[in-house]
Amino acid sequence: MRLSLQQFNELSPADATSHLLTCCTSTHWAQTLVNKRPFIDMPAMLSHSDDAWMQAQKDEQNLLEAFDGHPQIGNVDSLKEKYRNTQDSAAHEQSGANDAEDDVIEALAQGNQDYLDKFSFIFIVFATGKSAQQMLDLLLARLPNDRETELLNAATEQNKITRLRLQKLLSDA
């Protein structure tokens, strides 16, 4: 459901939070942003979102909560039920994986598992506009990193995804 910024500003806190959780599943981020309303325009909302995300990043649990709202790239269908609130966004964002060769998909699946085993959270990447091969290349480039570096990388990618989803949520964006 698309909303105007004015409609969003007028929602109850619970309804506004519910809509925001379709953009990012960090409750800290969503509640912080709800409390900053009303927003005068989309750039102001995005700025407040960035600030709320910077605050949320100070606690690893907020990051992990946000990351948990994503299906693994190339594995959207198996998690539709669990992540029903973000599945439409995720499916479109990851459409580059839909046309990939089987060997790339298999390598992506293995890379995702290796990443999860190493870092204890899934690989987060702003997938919009990227082919499966490009996502695989990014995953393989990030896999040698340490956990602290990957938390920061994933948090940065999460914010890109969140900003795009906010813009999709609001029809006048």
The set of catalytic residues is 70
154 in Cβ contact with 124 (< 8 Å): yes
- What residue spans of 94-146 are helical by DSSP H? 102-119, 132-142
Query: Before 43, cis peptide (omega within 30)?
Result: no
In sign, the C-alpha dihedral spanning 121, 149, 31, 162 is negative
| CA–CA distance, 126 with 65 (Å, rounded to integer) | 17
| Distance from chain centroid for Cα 8 | 20
49 in Cβ contact with 33 (< 8 Å): yes
